[in-house]
């Protein structure tokens, strides 16, 4: 039997970024479980040396198409061309805005199954590739397979997988694709005005060692300010649950959970977080979790190492001292 083709679509345009590294690392692991080979599909503008970095994480081949523009429609046509020619059994995309659009367009064009924001993927003889993501209104993870579908596609959450360099020296084949279609993006719009957004928050959440989480139990601005002050003091990044972000207390990029980001700090302190599954999937890789909540039965305590039953406001008054 031919080897299963496991694709990773690289979307960093001119380099192999850490997110792509995470995907190739997972693809490599899946290739061992499923008797597959890992193909990194790289569209953009990168040197051979940069492309070779895909081998560090376990890619067998890079399919490279030189392209000067980063436009979803142009990439879709290129990707379709490659797919129609060599085929794939599973295609992994990052879940950046760009790749979410690209993967949706692709899945729709070929009518193949697409699972959004996976937090895990495994291979089982019986089921084939199985994708896991949080079931929204439930306290469990849904395990999803593709049916009646030529190939399986998915977008993957950042930090769901660990970027791992393999020990073995791998022979990497770089296959230069020669796409003959158009590289011109459809000019169906004109820009009237464009304003750069000032980044209010330059926090490096991916590398944060200490993270403070704020949940609905933080009911007033005063308590929230005390947590932010303490965050500064201990060099901790302050993040929030979905409802806190929806309420506008914190920007979307500091939302942790299934619909936000996943984190893996050394220490996570959850203030007034009840522990909905939506949030827990985002913090489950934290090395140590301390939870402060006034409800002693809050689900957050199930995964906490240290349990503190206390009113968050009262606790913060002492803690901020």
Partner 1 sequence: MIKIVVCLKMVPGKLINAEAGGLIINPYDLFVLEKLAELKKSSDISVIGICMGGESARDGLIRSKALVCDDIYWLNDIKFAQADTIATTKTLTAAIKKYIPDADAVICGGHAIDGETGQVPAELSEKLGITYFSSVADIESFGNDSAVIVRRDERQEMTVRCRYPFLLSVDSFLTYASNLNVIALKRAQKWEYKIISAEELGIASTDCGASGSKTKVINSVNIIYKKESIEIGGSIKEKADHVKKLLQQ
Does the footprint of partner 1 cover residue 166 (CB under 8 A)? no
Q: Which residues contact 180 (CB under 8 A, 6 or more apart)?
A: none
Residue 313 C-beta: closest distance to partner 1, Å? 10
Closest CA to 320 of 238, 237, 227: 227
- Residues within window 69-88 making contact with partner 1, judged by CB under 8 A: 72, 76
Contact window for partner 1 (CB under 8 A) among 2-10, 57-65, 172-180, 273-281: 273-281
Is residue 148 near partner 1 by the rule CB under 8 A?
yes
Q: Site for partner 1 (CB under 8 A): which residue of 45, 69, 149, 285?
A: 149
Interface pick for partner 1 out of 193, 202, 204, 248 (rule CB under 8 A) = 193
What's the CA gap between 203 and 205, in Å, rounded? 6
Question: CA 108, 161, 157: angle at the middle one, nearest 5?
Answer: 40
Which member of 142, 175, 207, 225 binds partner 1 (CB under 8 A)?
A: 142
Residues within window 204-233 making contact with partner 1, judged by CB under 8 A: 210
237 touches partner 1 by CB under 8 A: no
Output 57 or 224, the one with its CB closest to partner 1: 224
> Total residues at the site for partner 1 (CB under 8 A)?
83
Which of residues 49 and 197 has its CB atom nearest to partner 1 in the complex?
197
Residue 144, sorted as left (phi over 0), alpha (psi -120 to 50) or beta, turns out to be beta
- Alpha-carbon gap, residue 227 to 315, rounded angstroms: 10
Considering only residues 168, 192, 221, 297, which one is a binding residue for partner 1 as defined by CB under 8 A? 192
Q: Choose among 219, 227, 215, 218: nearest CA to 278.
A: 215
- d(CA 137, CA 150) in angstroms, rounded, equals 30
Q: Using N-to-C axis directions, what is the helix angle for 221-233 and 312-319, rounded to 10°?
A: 40
Contact (Cβ atoms closer than 8 angstroms) between residue 76 and residue 102: yes
Among 143, 183, 229, 264, binds partner 1 (CB under 8 A): 143
Identified binder of partner 1 from the candidate list 15, 52, 70, 100, rule CB under 8 A:
100
Closest CB to partner 1 among 54 and 304? Answer: 304
Angle in degrees, CA 284, 285, 288, rounded to 5? 90
């Amino acid at each position: 039997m031919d080897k299963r083709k496991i694709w990773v679509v690289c979307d960093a345009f001119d380099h192999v970024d850490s997110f792509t590294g995470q995907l190739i690392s997972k693809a490599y692991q899946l290739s061992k479980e499923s008797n597959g080979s890992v193909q990194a599909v790289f569209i953009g503008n990168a040197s051979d040396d940069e492309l070779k970095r895909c081998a560090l994480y376990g890619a067998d081949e890079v399919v490279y198409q030189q392209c000067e523009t980063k436009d979803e429609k142009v990439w879709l046509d290129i990707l379709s061309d490659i797919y129609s020619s060599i085929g794939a059994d599973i295609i992994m995309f990052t879940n950046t805005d760009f790749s979410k659009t690209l993967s949706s367009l692709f899945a729709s064009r070929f009518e193949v199954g697409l699972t959004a924001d996976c937090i895990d993927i495994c291979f089982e003889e019986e089921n084939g590739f199985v994708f896991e993501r949080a079931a929204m209104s439930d306290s469990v993870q849904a395990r999803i397979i593709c049916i009646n579908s030529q190939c399986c596609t998915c977008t993957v959450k950042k930090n769901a997988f660990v970027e791992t360099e393999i020990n073995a020296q791998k022979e990497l084949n770089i296959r230069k694709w020669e796409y003959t279609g158009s590289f011109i993006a459809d000019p169906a719009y004109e820009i009237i005005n464009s304003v750069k957004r000032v980044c209010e928050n330059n926090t490096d959440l991916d590398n944060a060692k200490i993270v403070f989480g704020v949940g609905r139990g933080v009911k007033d601005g005063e308590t929230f300010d005390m947590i932010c002050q303490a965050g500064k003091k201990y060099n901790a990044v302050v993040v929030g649950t979905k409802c806190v972000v929806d309420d506008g207390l914190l920007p979307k990029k500091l939302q942790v959970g299934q619909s936000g980001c996943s984190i893996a700090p050394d220490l996570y302190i959850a203030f007034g977080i009840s522990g909905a599954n939506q949030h827990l999937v985002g913090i489950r890789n934290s090395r140590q979790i301390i939870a402060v909540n006034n409800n002693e039965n809050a689900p957050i305590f199930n995964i906490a190492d240290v349990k503190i039953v206390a009113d968050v406001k009262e606790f913060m008054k002492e803690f901020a001292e």
